[in-house]
Chains A and B, each alone.
Chain A
Amino acid sequence: MNLKERLQKTLSENPFKGFFKKNRLRPPGARGEKQFMELCIRCARCIEVCPYDSIKRADLFEKLQIGTPYIFPEDRACYLCMKCPEVCPTGALDNKLFEPEKVNIGKAVISQEDCLNFIYFKEEETGKITGKAMICSTCYNVCPFTDEAIVMEKYILPVITEKCVGCGICVEKCPVKTTDGKAVNVVPTGMGNEKDAGYYYRRSKILKSDPQKYKDILKGDKLIEKKQNISTFGEKKQFKYDFEINTSIEGWEMNED
């Protein structure tokens, strides 16, 4: 990091307004991290009311967030009883949130290298036996939104969908501990997944760095011009499908012009 970047970082990032960590969540109904930090008066009422002892009071390790509520799903996940949003006196937690399925405190991410089911599947495919393989499916079984938040692909590979609310129950129960968390981890809302971050930015950098190679990729006005020229008439482009397509729709006349 050069001096300019470092200055930018220290001056424009308010250390009081929170920083993110994997497997560290705000209670359900929490507003965006910035607004949450503005509103939370550290009264501990959400901590008090939680019947599962899921919410902990942040200690010194959380730096300036000390005293605010956090859920550490590796330790104890949120069981979505929805008692806590209601008691927050300042609305740092949305008082009107009662539906567990509308909670959005994070998204679980499965690490395909560590998940036992994925390893099992790979070994089946390649025939290389390591002895580690096991069918676990714990996350799928414990998720309160089975078949919605977690679906099984090919009947064996657990995949998280958009419906995941981030409760972290799968993290608490996953048997695989890795160097940073478990085989499934929750990324708190607002943190973003580091692997996807800056995708478009990186892509445009690649395009700029080697203009010769990407010269027939159209951009800006030229791209718009090209798109406007696409006509629905005339010769139809041929696409390859790996499934049968209907050439005509029953009851409709094919429009030959």
Chain B
Amino acid sequence: MKIKTIRRSVQIAVFLGMFIVPVLNILEIYFIKGTFYSIDIGSIAMADPLAILQAVVASKMFTYSMFASLVIPVLLVLIFGRIWCSFMCPYYLVTEMIDSIKKKLKIKTKKTEYSDHLTVKTNMFRLGFLLFGLFVMGISGIPLLNLISAPGVISSQALVLVKFGYVTFEMAFIITLIVLEFFYYKFWCRYFCPTGSFLSLIGLKRLLKVEKVNENCSMCLSCIKTCPMAINPMKDGSSVACNNCGDCVDICPDNKKTPTLKFKI
């Protein structure tokens, strides 16, 4: 089975979940409660590590429940890398939808060409933006970056929409991103998103990565062309930019004959 099939099913389930969970909560079924800033499933608490980091820095407090909500997300990232982004984040699904719309309408935007420097540059830029964001957040003294956490904003707006039937001004941010997305391919996820950058920092040394296991591949370069993060899966598999989406593994034609480009622990 293609990785993409699994990925799309999880993504859609999570996306629908954003709307179903508030309905359940209105019916006072509190099994799952929360948004993508922080969510409880049963009595397992999970939270966006960056949101918790900001709250800790701003308030100089670190409580047991904050710590408890970090355990599962951090473990997930340490093992599987940034699968939050590729398998669950609602914004990522939106960008992929935009991409397919663009293909249908035959709108061509030039996807950034892969080059050796680009990966390094992109990573520097992302981490730089994260640091800058944390700096501004430090000055303001409140968890300010949550206002530009795309998954968090989308899920909390979904909640407000379901519960009250309106959305608040924060939605303007998402709409802006979506409009820009038509012109700049996945620019938010590749260059800016602080949530994603922080996750990739945690996943710097992750277990699961893409690796070229067969030295004699046919060098068709289709993996490079397909990579949404514009890196070279054949050698950058362990880069912080990779979000383990598996698109390259899916597309590699040589995999049909011998294992060539594979996920490896």
Contact of A91 among B51, B58, B65 (CB under 8 A): B65
**Main SS at interface, chain A:** loop
Contact of B35 among A39, A48, A91 (CB under 8 A): A48
Chain B residues with Cβ below 8 Å from A40 are 55, 142-143
How many interface residues does B have (CB within 8 Å)? 41
1/0 contact trace for A153-187 toward B, CB 8 Å?
A: 00000000000000000000000000000000000
Chain B residues with Cβ below 8 Å from A60 are 168-169
A14 touches B140 (CB 8 A): yes
A118 to B251 CA separation, bound complex (whole angstroms): 79
Interfacial residues, chain B to chain A (CB-CB below 8 A): 21-22, 25, 28, 30, 33-35, 37-38, 40, 45, 47-48, 51-52, 54-55, 58-59, 61, 63, 65-66, 69, 140-144, 146-147, 152, 156, 159-160, 163-164, 168-170
B59 touches A35 (CB 8 A): yes
1/0 contact trace for A32-47 toward B, CB 8 Å?
A: 0001011111111101
A56 to B159 CA separation, bound complex (whole angstroms): 11
- A225 at interface (Cβ–Cβ under 8 A)? no
A89 to B142 CA separation, bound complex (whole angstroms): 15
Chain B residues with Cβ below 8 Å from A191 are none
Chain B residues with Cβ below 8 Å from A51 are 28
Determine how close the nearest CB of chain A comes to the CB of B220; give it in whole angstroms: 45
A45 to B48 CA separation, bound complex (whole angstroms): 13
CB contact list, A62-90 vs B, under 8 A? 66-67, 87, 89-90
Known: A16-B144, A38-B141, A45-B34. A67 touches B168 (CB 8 A): yes
Task: Classify chain A's interface size.
Answer: 20 to 34
B22 touches A89 (CB 8 A): no
A44 touches B156 (CB 8 A): yes
A144 to B65 CA separation, bound complex (whole angstroms): 32
B152 touches A43 (CB 8 A): yes
B38 touches A45 (CB 8 A): yes
A89 touches B30 (CB 8 A): no
Q: Most chain-B CB neighbours within 10 Å: which of A47, A53, A60, A67? A: A67
Determine how close the nearest CB of chain A comes to the CB of B67; give it in whole angstroms: 11
Contact of A17 among B22, B142, B169 (CB under 8 A): B142
Chain A residues with Cβ below 8 Å from B38 are 41, 43, 45, 89-90
A87 to B28 CA separation, bound complex (whole angstroms): 14
Known: A41-B55, A87-B40. A48 touches B163 (CB 8 A): yes
Would you list the 7 A-B pairs with minimal beta carbon distance, nearest first?
Answer: A43-B37, A89-B38, A38-B59, A38-B58, A60-B169, A44-B156, A41-B51
A87 touches B35 (CB 8 A): no
Determine how close the nearest CB of chain B comes to the CB of A10; give it in whole angstroms: 15
Known: A39-B58, A67-B168. A44 touches B142 (CB 8 A): no
- A59 at interface (Cβ–Cβ under 8 A)? yes
Determine how close the nearest CB of chain B comes to the CB of A11; give it in whole angstroms: 13
B141 touches A17 (CB 8 A): yes
Contact of B69 among A42, A44, A59, A89 (CB under 8 A): A89
Determine how close the nearest CB of chain B comes to the CB of A65; give it in whole angstroms: 9
B35 touches A43 (CB 8 A): yes
Chain B residues with Cβ below 8 Å from A41 are 37-38, 47-48, 51-52, 54-55, 143, 146
Known: A60-B169, A66-B168, A91-B66. A44 touches B37 (CB 8 A): yes
- A95 at interface (Cβ–Cβ under 8 A)? yes
A53 to B159 CA separation, bound complex (whole angstroms): 12
Residue of A nearest to B158 (CB): A44
A14 to B21 CA separation, bound complex (whole angstroms): 36
Determine how close the nearest CB of chain B comes to the CB of A36; give it in whole angstroms: 9
Chain A residues with Cβ below 8 Å from B160 are 44, 47, 57
A45 touches B35 (CB 8 A): yes
Determine how close the nearest CB of chain A comes to the CB of B10; give it in whole angstroms: 22
Chain B residues with Cβ below 8 Å from A218 are none
A60 to B160 CA separation, bound complex (whole angstroms): 15
Known: A41-B52, A43-B156, A49-B30. A56 touches B144 (CB 8 A): no
Determine how close the nearest CB of chain A comes to the CB of B104; give it in whole angstroms: 34
Residue of A nearest to B34 (CB): A45
Determine how close the nearest CB of chain A comes to the CB of B142; give it in whole angstroms: 5
A51 to B24 CA separation, bound complex (whole angstroms): 11
Chain A residues with Cβ below 8 Å from B146 are 41-43, 67
17 interchain pairs, CB-CB under 8 A: A39-B55, A39-B61, A41-B38, A41-B54, A42-B37, A42-B147, A43-B34, A44-B159, A45-B35, A49-B25, A49-B30, A57-B168, A60-B169, A87-B40, A89-B37, A89-B69, A90-B59
Chain B residues with Cβ below 8 Å from A43 are 34-35, 37-38, 47, 51, 146, 152, 156
